[in-house]
Structure 1
Amino acid sequence: MSGLPWVWGATAEEAARRYPADDAVEGRPMTRAVDVAAPSEVLWRWLCQVAVAPYSYDWVDNGFRRSPRELTPGADRLEAGQPMAKVFRLTTFDDGHHWTAVTPGRGRLGAAAITYAAEPVSPASSRLVCRLVATWPRPALDALAWGDLAMMRKQLHTLRDLAEQTTTG
């Protein structure tokens, strides 16, 4: 699947690759990605921060509370079952590389799974790739894809900026 709203910022290879979210639920994938001028180790720490706050539009996702702009000590000690991004539960992770979480279906809406990956490009740069797979029925799935695109774009840019500031700051 290519083009908006299903793919944003991802290369053709990233969009075609399988991620753990693809194995967690069977549904329609959405792939989003950004370049990050920071090592993957730094980016990974910021991906773990999603356990602390959503890093998207805080007025929507975080009750008007600003997502922390400093790394939270211990946030990178992941445990299966812990909440991620408030609505997901962590299922698997490859420490330093990627984590995957799921949310059960609610009512007529199906389940969803998400993988965030810190992909090394060079010693000083990386790619932040996110795969969301949802089993929602149409037209709810189409609405989710467009809404997720807006929210995820903001989140990935925020996490990228914070990782880059951590490297240069």
Structure 2
Amino acid sequence: MTRRSPVPPSPPFEVTARGAQFRDRIAVVVKAPSEAIFQALRDVTLREMRFAWLLGELRHFPSRLAGRMPAADSRRPFMKAVMEGGTLVLRDDAPREVISGLAALLHRVHQAPQRFASRTAFEAFDDPSHEQLFMSVRVAPTGRTGENWLVLEHATRALSPLAERKFARYWRVIKPMGAFATWQLLRAVRRRAERAAVGPLGSRRRWRSVRATMDERARALPGDERIAQAIDTLTHGVTIGRAPRDVWPWLVQMGAGSRGGWYSYDWLDNGRQPSVRRIVPALQHPAVGALFPALPGMTEGFTLLAIEPERALTLGWLAPDGTLDVTWTFVLDEIAPGLTRLLVRVRGGPGYRFHGLPLLLTRLVVRVVHFIMQRKQLLGLASRAEGDAAACPIDTVIPPHDGQDTAPESRAS
């Protein structure tokens, strides 16, 4: 196996932090591309590094008690909170490196960070009672395919001999805690990045998650407004190692019978006919009102309610009186170049009852059944979209087609 390259230095950081008296650097290996790593860095929250959050709370407890610092929101992106706390971006070369700076009374309990409108103002700051903290977050190749170093390096420059002596005492205490918090942050970023990059790196966990995050479950999606008072809302998601334009063709050809299948358990929902593993041109342009049959030969199924090419489609199951029993929405988010997050949400209308079951049993049974079927479908979609051109070519033979890609006249009127 190829040996990993050592963690490389950063010439821009060395120039920016010249004269710094106190330094530390921690690096971890991440099996993900640089774009996915920086996206994870932007999204990671304190909730994902609980021990670091606890250390931070202990460190800043006096300031919070004195009302000089608000309580930290563990659900907010950590880096966003850091930047709003007075840290200034000095150099932005993402997804390779971001260098930031902070000037404050770092050796004191109440650090009183300064705020600057520009890098020039930051560099001109020379109050002898303060210290300047420089931080580099960067990604560098390890020399092994699919791996990168994720490096966090920081350097502190005291602006006077007195400030240096004061910070040296503080540094002896805080350095081990700071190193541990940094390690927690990098591990949290690594988990996020590797989870997102499961597709393009060819890595496969035995159990690939389809769980939506808390933010995804709370987020408004297209189609939510069609059922104002839902009896339940179920949201799932999967990260796919392809761009949205490569995932979209598999979504629009869903449906039983003469359509592409549901990519789930075909013996249950497609008459034992395997879901296609090819893109079918004849099924790529459904119109609003088109029927996606639930089972082969059925005239009932999901009606296409709305479509936004390469972005979102919403299906709905209509009750006999024309009201919506269920909405089923698929949304594609490009979270990094060549990396898509597919979110799927089902909402049940007030009158929906699964095979006539009471409301409580409907909710319990549907949650179990839907998870089983939805997980299989999401994994089926991901495996097809991530297949290379040889494995998933465009179908050049048009299969028998019943015209269901266009809205029936009764629905169009």
Smaller-chain TM-score range?
Answer: 0.7 to 0.9
Partner of 2:276: 68
Partner of 2:23: none
Q: CA deviation at 1:95?
A: 1.1
Give, as a single letter, the amino acid of the residue that structure 2 aligns with 1:165: G
Q: CA deviation at 1:116?
A: 0.7
Q: Which runs of 5+ in 2 are unaligned?
A: 1-209, 295-300, 353-358, 392-413
Q: Which aligned pairs between 1:43-54 and structure 2 lie closer than 5 A?
A: 43-51=247-255, 52=259, 53-54=261-262
Aligned residue pair count = 160
Q: In 2, distance between residues paired with 1:40 and 1:167?
A: 16
1:22 matched to 2:230: no
The equivalent position to 1:36 in structure 2, one of 240, 254, 268, is 240
RMSD: 1.9
- TM-score, structure 2 length as denominator? 0.37
- TM-score, structure 1 length as denominator? 0.87
Partner of 2:187: none
Q: CA deviation at 1:129?
A: 0.6
Give, as a single letter, the amino acid of the residue that structure 1 aligns with 2:283: A
Partner of 2:330: 116
CA deviations over 1:115-143 (Å, ceiling 9, x no partner): 01111112211011100001333211221
The equivalent position to 1:142 in structure 2, one of 361, 364, 378, is 364
Q: In 2, distance between residues paired with 1:29 and 1:59?
A: 26
Query: CA 1:167–1:30 in structure 2 vs 1: closer, same or farther (change >3 Å)?
Result: farther
1:81 matched to 2:289: yes
CA deviations over 1:81-124 (Å, ceiling 9, x no partner): 112362210011111101001102369xx700010111111221
Identify the structure with bigger relative contact order (alpha carbons < 8 Å, sequence gap 6+): 1
**Contact kept? 2:303, 2:318, Cα under 8 Å:** no
Partner of 2:385: 163
Query: CA 1:164–1:85 in structure 2 vs 1: closer, same or farther (change >3 Å)?
Result: farther
Partner of 1:4: none
1:101 matched to 2:315: yes
Q: In 2, distance between residues paired with 1:112 and 1:12?
A: 22
Partner of 1:127: 341
Query: CA 1:20–1:40 in structure 2 vs 1: closer, same or farther (change >3 Å)?
Result: same
Q: Which entry has the higher C-alpha Rg, 1 or 2? A: 2
**Contact kept? 1:21, 1:131, Cα under 8 Å:** no
Q: In 2, distance between residues paired with 1:43 and 1:96?
A: 8
Partner of 1:153: 375
The equivalent position to 1:10 in structure 2, one of 203, 209, 212, is 212
Q: In 2, distance between residues paired with 1:84 and 1:42?
A: 21
Q: Percent identity between the aligned chains?
A: 26
Query: CA 1:85–1:38 in structure 2 vs 1: closer, same or farther (change >3 Å)?
Result: farther
